[in-house]
Amino acid sequence: MTQRWEFYQTSVGADVVRKEMFKCQLTRDEKAKLGRLMERAQRGELLAKDRKDLRGGLLELRLDCGERIFRLFYGEVEAANVLLAVKFVNKKSTQGIATDPTDIETARKRLNEWQIRSKRDDQRPDALN
């Protein structure tokens, strides 16, 4: 079954993940490669090298574009059949250095905050939705 991508937004509606992508100034080829990788993730066709499980429901999609390397952190929301993009970064090193822990922590906080908001929304009476 194909999943769909959604992008994390703050509680006030700021589209921070798309802003992070824009800030990285992806080339046309990088955008195309990212799009293909995201499509493979939707279909569940990722290779082991494409994804890393960071535990606690957080995953890392790995995009290697030669001179530049990117990471798209996301969570799988099985109940909604959604892949939730929570953080996008241009990895600073192509020399095997680990991803910046602060980026991982930001992604984890966003995923947790989204889950809390989602549960709260599910508990509202239908008249308020």
Average pLDDT, the chain: 89
Q: Tell me the per-residue pLDDT of 87-122, one tens digit each, with 9 for 90 and over.
A: 999 987 666 677 889 999 999 999 999 988 887 776
Q: Which of 42-51, 95-104, 120-129 has the highest mean pLDDT?
A: 42-51
Give the number of domains in the chain. 1
Residue 8, sorted as left (phi over 0), alpha (psi -120 to 50) or beta, turns out to be beta
Q: Do residues 88 and 24 touch, judged by C-beta distance below 8 A?
A: yes
Model confidence at 63: pLDDT above 50 = yes
For residue 48, being part of any structural domain is answered with yes
Percent pLDDT > 70 in the chain is: 89
Model confidence at 124: pLDDT above 70 = no
DSSP state of 16: H
- Please report the pLDDT score of residue 77 as a whole number: 83
**Cα-flanking dihedrals φ and ψ of residue 21, to 5°?**
-65, -45
For residue 129, being part of any structural domain is answered with no
Model confidence at 128: pLDDT above 50 = no
Q: What gap in Å lies between CA 123 and CA 13, rounded to an integer?
A: 20
For residue 113, being part of any structural domain is answered with yes
Q: What gap in Å lies between CA 121 and CA 56, rounded to an integer?
A: 22
For residue 90, being part of any structural domain is answered with yes
Please state the length of the chain: 129
Query: What tokens does 55 get?
Result: 């535990």
CATH assignment at residue 54:
3.30.2310.20
Print the domain residue range for 70. 4-124
Residue 6, sorted as left (phi over 0), alpha (psi -120 to 50) or beta, turns out to be beta
Looking up tokens 């429901």 gives: 57
For residue 14, how many other CB atoms are within 10 A of its CB?
11
pTM of the model: 0.88
Q: What gap in Å lies between CA 91 and CA 71, rounded to an integer?
A: 7
